[in-house]
Amino acid sequence: MEFKDFGFDYLTLEQIRKEGFEKPTEIQEKCIPGIKKGKDIAGQSVTGSGKTLAFSIPIIERTVPKEGIQALVLTPTRELCMQVKDSFDDFGKEKGLKTTAVYGGTDIRKQIYELKKSDIIIATPGRFLDHIKRKSVYLKKVKCLVLDEVDRMFDMGFIDDVDRIIKNIPKDRQTLLFSATIPPKVKSIIRKYLKSPVMVKAQTMIDSSKLNQTYYEIDRKMKFSLLVYLLKRKTSGFSLIFCGTRVEVDNLTANLKKSSIDAMAIHGGLTQNRRIHALDSLKKEKIHVLVATDVAARGLDIKNVTQVYNYDVPKTSDEYIHRVGRTARAGKSGEAITLLCDRDHSNFKNVLSDKRLKIERKEIRNIPQIRFDRNIISQRNMRNKRGYGREGSNNHNRRKSPHSFKGANEPVRE
């Protein structure tokens, strides 16, 4: 099948060509015909499968400029919100459509102004609910609702907000739901909000012929040393490193930089400017190592990942598959490397319970030990505070430590 077989208009097909998309992905091939017919869809697919394009193009083709908000897409994180907005802009600007991203951490007054001119909204639930409470958004013309990464919305505690939002949207609408996994709690959302949905499942298993999966069993004191050793041995490509908490992300990133590895962190506790800077650096390939939490990285379509490192072992096989599925895409090869120490055995046992996974043990000896400084962030903050003091700044002007707020570990509400 080719994109022209979907009956898209000339502007859409021309933009598809410019973007370099040659053939529809599995999720696009299965979803687009049903979406164009106005059917409710429940789609299961992993990040990078092309689902954003699957729902954005049909929505764009039937949205009329300057006729009010006609479509709403809810996403769990700010990063995914911005990424989805970019996709709508790529295909909708030539048609005169105005798409607005709505998320926390930015000027709500500016968003109120933008909402008045919008045709399509991409939003995180927390901030969008704020707009509903302020009555700064008019939803009576919404014809399509998209719930993206629903399993992650559950993990982040957003479902009550989603319930409240949906109560303000016309019942006579099309609802599209996408999720990497379909556990019972997601099934309950499908039953509650979708009308006779078409159930679509794209390939959710990794291609073992392209992905080399290994693990190292290592003493906890040598875990960081092994990571540095492996990162410095690789010759090309992009490395994505997963940690379990924000604190671990920050500490690991700072220690990697200290070891002359140009790494960048991304997690829900960073300021909006820092998160945007991290995404910008990724797009422009200014960095080749990203350290992230699952929540921050969820839904981000990061190109050219050649290595995925599990610095902290995921709790389930589904989480493992979602992480390592970031590499070995589009026919390219990739590596998934898990660093296993004593505290990780329980989680790793859960991962290995999925018999489809073939993860080989690797041995390594005589690597140089590098000290991992767990106080590196607090020491840096203390130096910053002393610096402000010398400049004579008042206490209320001092910057807060990124971990000084409540809830420094994931998940975080957006």
- Residue 401 has what pLDDT? 37
Residue that finishes a domain, picked among 315, 334, 362: 362
- Residue 345 has what pLDDT? 93
More confident call, 202 vs 95: 95
Is the Cβ–Cβ distance between 323 and 243 less than 8 Å?
no
Residue that finishes a domain, picked among 343, 362, 381: 362
Q: Are residues 179 and 302 in the same domain?
A: no
Pairing status of strand 198-201 against strand 41-44: parallel
Q: Are residues 192 and 330 in the same domain?
A: no
pLDDT confidence band for 2 (50 / 70 / 90): very high
The average pLDDT across 131-144 equals 97
- Residue 284 has what pLDDT? 74
Q: Are residues 313 and 239 in the same domain?
A: yes
Q: Could you give the residue ranges of the DSSP H alpha helices within 20-173? A: 26-36, 51-62, 78-92, 108-115, 125-134, 150-155, 159-166
- Provide the strand spans (E) within 288-356: 289-292, 305-310, 334-340
CATH number at residue 279: 3.40.50.300
Q: Are residues 248 and 346 in the same domain?
A: yes
Q: Are residues 53 and 161 in the same domain?
A: yes
What pLDDT digit, counting tens, does each position of 362-394 carry?
A: 998 889 999 999 888 776 666 665 554 433 333
Domain that holds residue 356: 211-362
Q: Tell me the two tokens of residue 252.
A: 């690991």
Closest CA to 231 of 221, 242, 241: 241
Report whether pLDDT(405) > 90: no
- Residue 53 has what pLDDT? 93
Report whether pLDDT(180) > 80: yes
Q: Are residues 12 and 141 in the same domain?
A: yes
Residue that finishes a domain, picked among 322, 338, 362: 362
Collapsing DSSP to helix, strand or coil, 154 comes out as helix
Residue type for 85, please?
K
Q: Please check whether residue 401 lies inside any domain of the structure.
A: no
Q: Please check whether residue 375 lies inside any domain of the structure.
A: no
Secondary structure, 3-state, 257-273:
HHCCCCEEEECCCCCHH
Q: Please check whether residue 314 lies inside any domain of the structure.
A: yes
Q: Please check whether residue 92 lies inside any domain of the structure.
A: yes
pLDDT confidence band for 408 (50 / 70 / 90): very low
H or E stretch covering 361: strand 360-362
pLDDT confidence band for 235 (50 / 70 / 90): low
Q: Are residues 161 and 262 in the same domain?
A: no
More confident call, 376 vs 340: 340
Q: How many domains does the chain have?
A: 2
Rounded to the nearest integer, the mean pLDDT of the chain is 86
- Residue 128 has what pLDDT? 97
Report whether pLDDT(102) > 70: yes
Is the Cβ–Cβ distance between 151 and 181 less than 8 Å?
yes
Dihedral of alpha carbons 182, 184, 185, 189, sign:
positive
Q: Are residues 228 and 312 in the same domain?
A: yes
What pLDDT digit, counting tens, does each position of 51-78 carry?
A: 999 999 999 999 999 999 999 999 998 8
Q: Are residues 156 and 176 in the same domain?
A: yes
Q: How far apart are CA 26 and CA 255, in angstroms?
A: 40
- Residue 382 has what pLDDT? 61
Report whether pLDDT(314) > 50: yes
Q: Are residues 253 and 165 in the same domain?
A: no
- Residue 400 has what pLDDT? 39
Q: Please check whether residue 382 lies inside any domain of the structure.
A: no
**120 bridge partner residues:** 71, 99
The average pLDDT across 248-261 equals 94
Q: Please check whether residue 73 lies inside any domain of the structure.
A: yes
Report whether pLDDT(290) > 50: yes
What pLDDT digit, counting tens, does each position of 213-232 carry?
A: 999 999 999 999 999 999 99
Q: How far apart are CA 128 and CA 125, in angstroms?
A: 5
H or E stretch covering 213: strand 211-217
Dihedral of alpha carbons 91, 94, 98, 102, sign:
positive
Residue type for 170, please?
P
The average pLDDT across 145-159 equals 91
- pLDDT above 70 covers a percentage of the chain that reads 87
> Crossing angle for the helix pair 10-19 and 78-92, nearest 10 degrees?
120
Closest CA to 19 of 91, 97, 126, 101: 91
Residue type for 19, please?
E
For residue 239, what are the contacts with CB-CB under 8 A and spacing of at least 6?
Answer: 231, 288, 289, 290, 305, 306, 307, 308, 309
Q: Are residues 37 and 135 in the same domain?
A: yes
Is the Cβ–Cβ distance between 385 and 238 less than 8 Å?
no
The average pLDDT across 265-294 equals 80
Closest CA to 127 of 112, 113, 142: 112
- Residue 20 has what pLDDT? 86
Q: Please check whether residue 412 lies inside any domain of the structure.
A: no
The average pLDDT across 252-274 equals 87
Q: Please check whether residue 316 lies inside any domain of the structure.
A: yes
Q: How far apart are CA 238 and CA 304, in angstroms?
A: 6
Q: Are residues 36 and 143 in the same domain?
A: yes
